[in-house]
Every structure is written in C-alpha cells, then in structure tokens.
Amino acid sequence: MTVHRIAALAATAAAAAMLAGCSATMPEGGVRIDNQNYVRPTLNTVRVIDESLARYKNRKWEANSVLDVENVVLSDTGTGFKRISVELRNKTGVEIPLEVRNSWYDPNGRPVDAASSWTRLFVKPQSMVLFEQVASNGSASQYYVEVRAAQ
C-alpha cells in the first residue's frame, strides 16, 4: 500500500468513527430543545425542568423537590376546547417565583400549537398556586406542562 492510500483509509475510518459517535448521541423524533436529557416529553404530565426546584433520583419516579404537584385536571370548557388546571405547592418557608408553560397535542401525540409563553407565578411559603390554560385548537386533547424557576 502507498502512503497516500493508508492516509486515505485512516481518514475514512476516523470520519466513520466520528459519525457513528454522533448518531449514537443524536435524539430521535420530536425532542424538545429545552429537554437537554434527550427525553421525549411524556404527555399528560407536569414536569419540573429546573434542578433548583427538583432533583430526580434514578430518573424514574422519585424526586427531591421544593414543589409538589397537588392536582392536575383536564376539563372541557363547554365550547369544544380543553382546559388544563395545575395546582403547585411550595414546601419551603420562602416565596418562590416560578414560570410555567403548556404545550398541547392531538390524540396521536402530535403538537397542535407552539408551546405557550412562560406565565410567571409567585408561590407564597407553605401555600399553593393555580396555573390554568385553555387550548386554542379544538383538536388538542393531551398536554405537557413545564415548570421552572423564574428567570
């Protein structure tokens, strides 16, 4: 083999290794840009996405958090649109400024609207606050709510 041929094979192998590494870490499907862990949103859930408010243990169910999601209700407005109501409880002795937003999905899990703008809420110590939003698209039937510390 010539030196040029060996160099070309080495370059090809290096490029293939880089591409293989990239494809292994690239997310599949419609992954939200603010989900840095490359997990597709689980529909019909409320997720605290800020580690200062919730640290997930083993990424399964257990969380160590300063907030609790007390109640989530998906209801009809009477005009054919869905309403999501989320009660958030502050478990600390200080007021917490939050931002909350919602995304709506159709029965097949496809987004029907862009994510709403962040709504700022203040949760007093040892109390609850209510976040509500009405879908603007009649085909919306599923939701995904995100909660973070106010920025």
Domain of residue 56, CATH code: 2.60.40.3230
HEC string for 101-148: EEEEECCCCCECCCCCCCEEEEECCCCEEEEEEECCCCCCCEEEEEEE
pLDDT given at position 133: 95
Q: How high is the pLDDT of residue 74?
A: 95
On whether residue 3 sits in a domain, the answer given is no
pTM over 0.85? The answer is: no
Report if residue 18 sits inside a domain. no
Q: What is the pLDDT of residue 52?
A: 81
What is the Cα–Cα distance from 89 to 53, expressed in whole angstroms? 12
Mean pLDDT of each 10-residue bin along the chain, 151 residues long: 49 44 39 49 88 68 76 93 94 93 95 92 95 95 94 85
Q: Is residue 92 part of a domain?
A: yes
Q: Tell me, what's the pLDDT at 1?
A: 53
Task: Give domain status of residue 2, yes or no.
Answer: no
| Structural domain span for residue 99 | 30-149
pLDDT at 59: 55
Number of structural domains the chain divides into: 1
